[in-house]
Amino acid sequence: MLDTTAEAQTQTFLDQFGQALESGDIDGAVDLFADECYWRDLVSFTWNIKTVEGKDQVRDMLEHQLATTRPSQWAIAEGEMPTEDGGIVTAWITFETAVARGYGLVRLKDGRVWTLLTTMVELKGHEEPAGFARPMGARHGAGKNRATWLEERQKEEAELGYKTQPYCVIIGGGQGGIALGARLRQLGVPTIILERNDRPGDSWRKRYKSLCLHDPVWYDHLPYIKFPDNWPVFSPKDKIGDWLEMYTKVMELNYWTRSTAKSAQWDEKAKEWTIVVDRDGEEVVLRPKQLVMATGMSGKPRIPDFPGMETFKGDQHHSSRHPGPDKYSGKKCVIVGSNNSAHDIAAALWEADADVTMVQRSSTHIVRSDTLMEIGLGDLYSERAVQAGMTTEKADLIFASLPYAILHQFQIPAYAAMKEKDKDFYEGLEKAGFWLDWGDDDSGLFMKYLRRGSGYYIDVGASQLIIDGEIKLKRGQVVAVDETGVVLDDGTHLDADLIVYATGYNSMNGWVADLVGQDMADKVGKVWGLGSDTTKDPGPWEGEQRNMWKPTQQQALWFHGGNLHQSRHYSQFLSLQIKARMEGIDTPVYGLQKVHHLS
């Protein structure tokens, strides 16, 4: 039976909201928001990734953006029916602006906006050639000296970067660069992806051999091509590497392997970058209008500087350089750190009959993978959700519709349920001496990831080895390394043939410092984090991921990355921003992030 009450409330709101915006009645539009309200906009109004919080901020945004945005055609999305639950009406909506078509999700309390998500779907006149608009491919009929698809593709590959310049260069050919490259390709933006490795996917293949995705398959699709129905729930790294290599080929990406950007300079007068590239020993100079850093959300490995490291006679390396466990069978191995990589490497070394000790320097959040799937992701990303009609795209928008300022409120009860379900498991870890935490406000894994990018482990087996004492555990701080091992602050000496520093990563703008210079890195500021004033995420409050997927303080410099979900979802919005600039569309940015120089 149709919920006419919810439908009527939604339609009334849309009629009033649309009329107010079209007539320039900002007061009338603001009055349709509740006192506690959040409007999260992905490009459509702000040409930014921006959340405004409270009526005053809504008003300010509209005062700056309404005249140029010119929104209209507000409607309940075709085929969707508003719902009501606990006094909250939720509805999928569509709208248009002067230059784009949009899609969104609104939640109403007593007929007024509590949360509003607005997203840009496509630019008018620059739609992707998909569906009924897909290219014909074959050219039926007769014609002399016609080039085949292969010949045209080979010509493009030979000339782009030499005879013709790319509009955009993406540095980094992992899932972030590949997802964005695919979006830009479909929008007709000439793009080159630079990757240091020999093949697409090698950034995964070259990691420690036990690595597999800890996120389930339904969460990890790339744009346009979803994993097949028989794909494993948790993908092994080499299988992901093969998928990425296949994807770059079938999506026709201009993907330069064995290519390293040596330097980059911004020409303010020409409004373009000069990028010097070592392409497999050949120096090539590229002059794109846009530069995207897709070098990984976590940036550069954070390698500690403990006294005496240079004296150690065994092997030592950062977790990102760990070759795998095979050569360490029967050896004493110390892992400094207790995050995902630390647990994975510890378990693999144990399987290879190494003697493994993990040094836990700070508290760590643990959640079991099957419990995370059941309670944390199951309603949006699971086989159950798929069978109930949930699409990946809709799941992404539902998740995106919860502003970061209140997202933790939705996470806290979910993680409380996980804690209760796995009570015996956590008691076992604590008895083994493991230092657990659930985030500063008990909001769990995803908020820790958004705020600091580390400090958690999605358990796929290593925790039980710690509980059983198979992986030994020491809590404390490393104060020195000597010829034979690691010294802790309580005087304990851990003998070691191998030391793995699973010590995380520094901010992504470290790559900017290397490529363009420290002044440019300082101009841009910190990358990642919300400014939540929680552990390792000091304020001020930004309300969105710092500098990610949106304009930065440096014109034409962008950052893209994150996990597979974020690479897929946000590549849509970054690609539209770049395409608009290529086409000369006016893109007045609202709320450009200020620079905060944070350690």
Least confident window among 1-15, 485-499, 528-542, 550-564? 1-15
320 with 456, same domain? yes
293 with 316, same domain? no
257 with 326, same domain? no
Condensed to tens digits (0 to 9), the pLDDT of residues 136-163 reads 776 666 778 888 899 999 999 999 999 9
351 with 436, same domain? yes
Strands (E), 354-451: 355-360, 365-368
Token pair of 216 as six digits? 């389930």
426 with 476, same domain? yes
**Which pLDDT does position 599 carry in this prediction?**
41
- The three-class DSSP label of residue 510 is helix
351 with 490, same domain? yes
What percent of the chain clears pLDDT 90, i.e. is strictly above it? 83
162 with 249, same domain? yes
Condensed to tens digits (0 to 9), the pLDDT of residues 123-132 reads 999 999 988 8
Residue 543 near residue 9, CB atoms below 8 Å: no
495 with 517, same domain? no
Mean pLDDT estimate for the chain:
94
Domain annotation covers residue 175: yes
Report yes or no on whether pTM surpasses 0.85: yes
Residue 92 near residue 11, CB atoms below 8 Å: no
Condensed to tens digits (0 to 9), the pLDDT of residues 374-396 reads 898 889 999 999 999 999 999 99
- Provide CB contacts within 8 A for 372, sequence distance 6+: 418, 445, 458
* DSSP state string for 540-598: S--SS-TTBSS--SSTTEEE---SHHHHHHHHHHHHHHHHHHHTT-----SSPPPP---
- Provide CB contacts within 8 A for 236, sequence distance 6+: 211, 212
Q: Residue 239 — φ and ψ, nearest 5°?
A: -70, -40
Domain annotation covers residue 129: no
249 with 170, same domain? yes
114 with 57, same domain? yes
Nearest to 168 by CA among 578, 589, 587: 578
Among the candidates 501, 530, 549, a domain finishes at 501
397 with 517, same domain? no
Domain annotation covers residue 149: no
Is the pLDDT confidence value at 598 over 50? no
Among the candidates 440, 473, 501, a domain finishes at 501
**Which pLDDT does position 141 carry in this prediction?**
67
Condensed to tens digits (0 to 9), the pLDDT of residues 182-237 reads 999 999 999 999 999 999 999 899 887 778 888 899 999 999 999 999 999 999 99
Domain annotation covers residue 137: no
Among the candidates 501, 532, 550, a domain finishes at 501
Tell me how many domains the chain contains.
Answer: 3
Q: Which residues span the domain enclosing 186?
A: 154-300+507-582
Domain annotation covers residue 231: yes
296 with 424, same domain? no
Domain annotation covers residue 597: no
Q: Are strands 72-76 and 168-171 parallel, antiparallel or unpaired?
A: unpaired
Domain annotation covers residue 185: yes
Domain annotation covers residue 136: no
Q: What is the largest CA-CA distance in the chain?
A: 83
Taking only Cα atoms into account, the Rg of the chain, rounded to an integer number of angstroms, comes to 25
**Which pLDDT does position 305 carry in this prediction?**
95
